[in-house]
Amino acid sequence: MPEKSLTVATYAAGASLAAITLIYVFGPTYFLDTQKKGVVGLSNPANDCFINSVLQALAGLGDLRLYLIRETHRRDLDDGVVYSQVIPPEEWQAAVGSADGAQASKKMPAWKIEGLQRGIVTRGLKDILDSLNERPIYKKTISAAPFVRTLEQAFQQRISRQQQDAQEFLQVVAERLCDEYHAGRRARQFAKRRGELPLVVSIVKPVDDLEGSGAGKGEAKGEEEDEDEDGFPLEGQFESQIECLTCGFKPRPTESTFCTLNLNVPQTSATTLNTCFDGMFKTEYIDDFKCEKCRLLHAVTVFEPEAKKSTSDSLVAKAQAAVTKLQVAIDTDPEQPPKDVELPDMRHAPKRRIARHIRLTKFPKVLAVHLSRSIYDTSNYSQKNSAKVSFPERLSLGGLLQQKKYKLLGLVTHKGSHHSGHYESFRRQNVYPPFSNPNTFQPSGPYSGTATPISTPEVRALQQKPGENTTPTSTLDLPSLEPGAVADSPASSPVSATVPSPSPNFGWSSSGKSSPLSGSRRSGLAPNPRDRETDANSLRSVAASARSTLSKIASRPSSRADNSAAALSANAPPASKKPPGTTKPKRKKTSDRWWRISDEKVKEANTRDVLSMQREVYLLFYELEKD
């Protein structure tokens, strides 16, 4: 009798321990994701809402966080000398490919170039975004002061806290990150040419690509590493093309890069985001423009009459030579007129009407849109444009052959006048694979975003042997990871399990054969008290017994009169009977859940609340959807 009470107490303690273990292992991902206050706030000691709102919006951009992790990890792997050595202007020109880059490097002080190459702001932003993406179980507030000090160190000047613009802060941070990316890339290329940086194949390439590659193939991959990488996710590119409506000449398009796309809000009561895009990308007609080709054609019409009227043979030959050279330039490249021909004064060149087109040539991974709401009158007085701007949750850009689709991940709103007010931010409740691992027991590659140690073994019940007196159980006992442990349940009869192995390194038996864990079960011997004590000490055995007990409790029939029917349906889950008139509350979809953050105040919102901020919307953050 004492032995039985001790066994019951042992298994009760084991079941409690197993339940606690399951909660601590599998519970955090679910419970932390459903917390009402599961996001970190930012304190506002001195008008820092413009900083806090931008940082909270950036914290919800997964592609930006992946970029920051990649860049900081790359700089940690490389030698510090690679980024501390200032690149000479001539090498800067070779890396950039233009003389403008060399002139810019000459005007830039050495401390600023070194700071760009080391990626000071990149590392500082990664640290603050990692802190903001913690999943606390209680209300937590941190300060943005460390990141502000990093910016002040990078620019060596103090940042004012007097009612600043969130868009200006975003532009400063984004352009600095973009400059640090290109500076680090130039530093690595310079070190490779000098032989100071060992040739390393890109860390984002899978290991399968490296198998069977020789030294020459590895060198080719290492040289193309920087060219194949994605680059800064907020950096995009557009080109401006003009066309003369008189002669039809199209000069070379002017390419420009951007980190934030500025769109003007029309002065109406209500508009849409697509209308704002049309205001930037629609065809614009400009008058009184002096076309290069029309200027050369005008010069030909000037030189030809002079050649006919002149009586000097030398002047006639000179004019005819000039006409010939101008005609060649008109046919080949009107933007490169002959240098030895003196053209008429620019004031006498004809004025034409041109059409100007702007189109995106490089779509960024993260599209940051700024809605410019400033209105200036004739007296230079500025006020805020409070027009309603409706924006979609999913945005399509590009033509039919080059269409890109974006998904809204965050926005910054402003309430108040043009000279004062308060900024808030909305960010979608996304948890990306690199930061939480939902597929814990699934196999993964060495460079997978959801890396795991092993995969979950399959558990299959053995067929009952003739002559064995066993009763069916509702659940199978899981095998223990220890070689000598045996899963035992006091309420169930001996049932063995086979565990096929995906890899021989873990000691599992192959399919079709029983594992050593179930050897004692198949022998038909009854377990002695020592074996029972050993099973109670095994965590896997306790977990198995807890599962068996819970399943039996769940499958207990509601009525004791029909025991035969309950025994037949022991393995099936019981049908839950709900009282009439009661419905289970629907849980919000993960994609429909947002955080509304105002400094340290955090509230939960949905997509309808976000899309209703039409009068207050100021900054929009869209992420490119994966194909």
Task: Give the residue numbers annotated as catalytic, written as ranges.
Answer: 49, 422
Maximum Cα–Cα distance across the chain: 137
Structure tokens at 329: 């330039």
Name the DSSP letter for residue 350: P
SS3 track for 4-58: HHHHHHHHHHHHHHHHHHHHHHHHHHHHHHCCCCCCCEECCCCCCHHHHHHHHHH
| Burial of residue 132, with CB atoms counted within 10 A of its CB: 0-12 exposed, 13-18 middle, 19 or more buried | buried
β-strand pairing of 617-624 with 404-416: antiparallel
Mapped onto helix, strand or coil, the DSSP state of residue 241 is: strand
- How many whole angstroms separate alpha carbon 333 and alpha carbon 350? 19
Residue 347 carries which DSSP code?
A: G
Run of H or E including 502 = none
Locus of tokens 């290329």:
189
* DSSP state at residue 506: G
| CA 145 – CA 141 distance, rounded (Å) | 12
Buried-exposed string 199-235: b where 16+ CB fall within 10 A, e elsewhere: eebeeeeeeeeeeeeeeeeeeebbeebeeeeebbbbb
User: Which pair of tokens denotes residue 626?
Assistant: 């994966």
Please state the length of the chain: 627
612 close to 393: Cβ distance less than 8 angstroms? no
SS3 332: helix
Q: How far apart are CA 18 and CA 15, in angstroms?
A: 5
Token pair for 330: 């008109």
CB-based contact 486:497 (threshold 8 Å)? no
**Which 3 state secondary structure label does DSSP give 246?**
coil
Tokens 């004025």 correspond to what residue?
A: 351
| CA–CA distance, 109 with 156 (Å, rounded to integer) | 12
**Tokens representing 393?**
């949750």
Write phi, then psi, for 412 (nearest 5 degrees). -120, 130
CB 368 within 8 A of CB 174: yes
Asked if 259 and 300 touch (Cβ cutoff 8 Å), the reply is no
Report which residue type is found at 451: A
Angle formed by the axes of helices 166-194 and 62-77, to 10°? 30
Residues 492-523, buried b or exposed e (16+ Cβ, 10 A)?
A: bebbbbbbebeeeeeebbeeeeebebbebbee
Residue 383 pairs in a beta bridge with: 375
Q: Using the CB atoms, write b or e for 65-74: b if 16+ within 10 Å.
A: bbbbebbbeb
480 backbone dihedrals φ, ψ, rounded to 5°: -85, 155
